[in-house]
Chains A and B, each alone.
Chain A
Amino acid sequence: MAAPVPIGLKAALLDAVRTKSGMVGTGMLGFLILLAILVPVFAPYDVIKAWGGTDAWQDNPKLAAPEWSEVFSGGKHLPRTIFLTPAGTPGGFLKFRTTENVSDGKGNWNNFTFLGLKKTFGFQADDFPSEMTVYLNTMFTQAGNLSKPPAISVIFQRPDNKNLTLLDDTPRLSTTDINRFPNTKSNAYAVSQPIKDTPSYKILDNLREWLIANNVTTRAEAYDPQFYVQPEVLLFAQLDRSMLSKSTAHVLKGDYSLRIELVGFENTDDANARGIVFGTVFGLAGTDDARHDLLVGLLWGAPVALAFGTAGALVVVLIQMILGAISGWYGGAVDELVQRAADFYLIIPTLPILILISLLYRPSIVAILFILVAFGIVGSTTKVVRSIVLQVKEEQFIEAARSYGAKKTRILFRYILPRVMPYTFALIALTVPAFIFLEASLSFLGLGDPVLPTWGHTLGLAYNNGALFYGFWWWIVFPVVGIIFATIAFALLGYAFDKVLNPRLREQ
């Protein structure tokens, strides 16, 4: 009554791909494969190897939303990261340096170096930057107590000319460095989250004094232990009482400059500076708390998920198919054995055991794949294939082959398996998502591959770092979308196969 079922694998494939869901699924899968091919070009594997470290990412803002999310901010212009590049680079800091030798009249000459670095930048965003850091590279001579390290001040100039000195510092060397020539010292001054007992911690006191001097607060108020306003807000806010809370503060738009002054006590002293005013938005997919560009991680998730899912599904389904075919075809004791094995696998709790193994051995992604395969030797595919084989067995062409004396094994491989193949394809397509999600589940629990930033891994980090609670939606949504996109591609393909092979479901 119903239209015929395409028997060959190729016919089934073609028919399946031609259905609407097949086309959509193929399109989605094609996109993923393209991505998988292009990603290593766009972001080489080295980038991923460096995922665990911090160096590669330190210039990115922390927990920044994707740039395009600005669209939802009600017309607000959100700050991008501003790089204040060192002197000597185009558009970098301007540098003035003079040296002077002054005699104290007793035959001693004091040698001075005066150095100024200045960079002006416009700030036109409607929100405050998320952080600000100044990196200073000072080169000076300090051998024992013979000469003094240079004195540095970092000055912040505002459009309203209410300037302030952020900090004064004398970079001191640790004793082990002292006898190395020339001495250099790199200092990073975290303006926005100064750490106690570092030079930049002075920023807080300088800010207090600045607020008092400009009559924004009383002294008592400013030195109240409860008093705290993020420096990056105060620095970029209009100068009045509203600036004392981020929610009321108004951004002061205009040209700011960062000025660094150095007085050195040798003619050879020198310095260069670099600064970053971190934005609140970044790239296409934002960043996480370790400043990773999430886009890179997300894109790398595609080839990993694809490879893991297909490899696992392929191997498991093929093994299960062969076992199912053998069990259905030979019957008897073999069949009984396979069936009992299926019962056994049904009853042992795979996921808990998998979690246990992952916890004990922290296997790499490849090892996880092997374990999963070991736990999937028999399963639902065995059952499906077995029942198909039992049906096919009764068909006439098998009888015919048998009657002219073909060997059982030969019939199995020549006639039975090819008949089962198309169904196997459907099962593979439907099993891939299961594997992708298994990997994601383990990674989510922090038990996946220790190196690769898979989607599950990213999601787990996001969850554990309170991304839900603080509303870092991009950190959650994109990996979820990635996983769902990949699995839906396969689900649609599997469904298309199902539809072609199962005439009742067909769009006739």
Chain B
Amino acid sequence: MAVLDIRNLIYWYRTRRGAVHAVDNISFKLEQGETIAVVGESGCGKTSTANAILRLLPKNVERYEGEIWFDGQDIMALGNEDFRKQVRWKGISMVLQGALNALNPTVRAGAQVAEPLIVHYDVDRDEAMEQAIAAMKRVGLPQDIARRYPHELSGGMKQRVVIAMALILKPKVVILDEPTSALDVMTQTNIINLLKEMKAAEGLSYIFITHDLGLASDLADHVAIMYAGEIDEIGPADHVFVHPKHPYTGRLLASVPRLRSEDAPEFIPGAPPDLTRPPPGCRFHLRCPVAFEKCGWVAEEFVDRLRLLQATTQGKEGFPRFSEVEARGTQMVVLRADSDSPETLAASFSEFVKSGRETNPFLKSVRSVDAKTKAVAVTLHEGAPPPLIGEEWRAACWLVQEATAHDTIPA
């Protein structure tokens, strides 16, 4: 049985600009003793997912829904006090992102490691300190570290203190939120090795949050690729990393620099979308090199792209000569020309769409081009968000649906 089963988790923030869809309907499972890596560019909602699991909410929560089954119980249904007593740290602990700041600067390291024991088990202070020192020893920290203040420790030592603190109650699940991103490479490796050891020794399950694919492939049994608050692809690490199904995963992998490879790393063009207004259809379609009709283009995006193209290819042969372009509703774009008649413009635009489809995926969204009395109406295909398809290994991309209707795990 899965130790943690997250179903349809939704977690939005309320801001003045609108709701931030930081976690938008996410589901995944974590098996006992396994590690699932949650990978994605920064700002895609990884930390929010972690905080949502531990119910560490700020004041500005807009929506917080879904089921989180932990140890056979839906912990979303627990009251706050029960949740605090049963889940936090005892069941699920966490190494916070920016863990180096997670230590109280005015309290000695040992006391901080010991604190959960006092809070949850009412252990007396000396006893707790003893256990803390033991726990610190297990993560490779000498005894005298316990008496030091955080500012007297190096980054690597602090990280070990934080890990000792996370493990002190022997939780079933540990969430590691970018546990190594502030460390140098050598320390990083040490910490990763430590995490592996601890997992083996204590039978832990990890949710390993990172934007570093290399680390993820090193540590994870399963991976979940997140993009703009959603999971795009999830499955066994060796499959996802070797034969990515989702174009985003592919681009992500291609962007990792490799030591023994001729290929230069390719960066993904564009920036992750604003989560207050996630793109309709497939959230990746604005940056997807293979996007097509179904991916959910809307008139506004189309107009933006067209204007951009007009600005960069100004006056080139074959570029339709329109003077105005504007969106009408979500699926219609209107073009006007000063010199050409609507018919001429419609013809040249159709021609342009046909020839430019491959280089500019957004043109694929054109369904029809009609000349009206004064202008040309371009109608776009309706799109929809692609569902996560598959069993063991799932991806949310319309291409995946067409190519592989069933779960394929290559041998």
Contact = CB atoms under 8 A, between A and B. Distances in A.
B248 interface: no
A175 interface: no
Interface in A128-172: none
A174 interface: no
A1 B60 contact: no
A3 interface: yes
Contacts of B60: 508
Interface in A440-461: none
A507 interface: yes
Nearest to A15: B16
A3 B47 contact: no
B14 interface: yes
Contacts of A1: 47, 58
A508 B47 contact: no
Interface in A302-343: none
Nearest to B276: A3
Contacts of B14: 508
Interface in B59-107: 59-60
Nearest to B48: A1
Interface residues of B, number: 8
Interface string A208-227: 00000000000000000000
A466 B392 CA distance: 88
Interface in B105-161: none
A3 B60 CA distance: 11
A226 B287 CA distance: 100
Nearest to A19: B16
A508 B276 CA distance: 12
B227 interface: no
Contacts of B16: 506-508
B13 interface: yes
Interface string A1-34: 1010000000000000000000000000000000
Interface string B30-60: 0000000000000000010000000000111
A16 B60 CA distance: 19
B178 to A, nearest CB: 13
Interface string A83-105: 00000000000000000000000
A506 B17 CA distance: 12
Contacts of A506: 16
Nearest to A18: B16
Nearest to B98: A1
Interface in A468-486: none
B313 interface: no
A24 to B, nearest CB: 16
B408 interface: no
A507 B58 CA distance: 12
Contacts of B15: 3, 508
A507 B14 CA distance: 9
Nearest to A507: B16
B49 to A, nearest CB: 13
B272 to A, nearest CB: 14
Interface string B2-16: 000000000001111
A167 B15 CA distance: 80
A295 to B, nearest CB: 41
A505 to B, nearest CB: 12
A506 B13 CA distance: 13
A73 B47 CA distance: 66
A22 to B, nearest CB: 12
A4 to B, nearest CB: 10
Contacts of A3: 15
A507 B15 CA distance: 7
Contacts of A507: 16
Nearest to B51: A1
A3 B275 CA distance: 12
B403 to A, nearest CB: 39
Nearest to A2: B58
A507 B16 CA distance: 7
Nearest to A3: B15
A506 B58 CA distance: 13
Contacts of A508: 13-16, 58-60
Nearest to B15: A508
Nearest to B60: A508
Interface string A249-273: 0000000000000000000000000
Interface in B161-204: none
A508 B14 CA distance: 6
A19 to B, nearest CB: 8
A469 B354 CA distance: 90
Interface string A490-508: 0000000000000000111
Nearest to A506: B16
B165 to A, nearest CB: 20
Interface string A31-43: 0000000000000
Nearest to B16: A507
Nearest to B14: A508
A470 to B, nearest CB: 51
A508 B58 CA distance: 10
A1 B14 CA distance: 13
A502 to B, nearest CB: 15
Closest 9 CB pairs of A and B: A508-B60, A508-B15, A3-B15, A507-B16, A508-B14, A508-B16, A508-B13, A1-B47, A1-B58
Given A1-B58, A508-B58, 10 more contacts: A1-B47, A3-B15, A506-B16, A507-B16, A508-B13, A508-B14, A508-B15, A508-B16, A508-B59, A508-B60
12 contacts: A1-B47, A1-B58, A3-B15, A506-B16, A507-B16, A508-B13, A508-B14, A508-B15, A508-B16, A508-B58, A508-B59, A508-B60
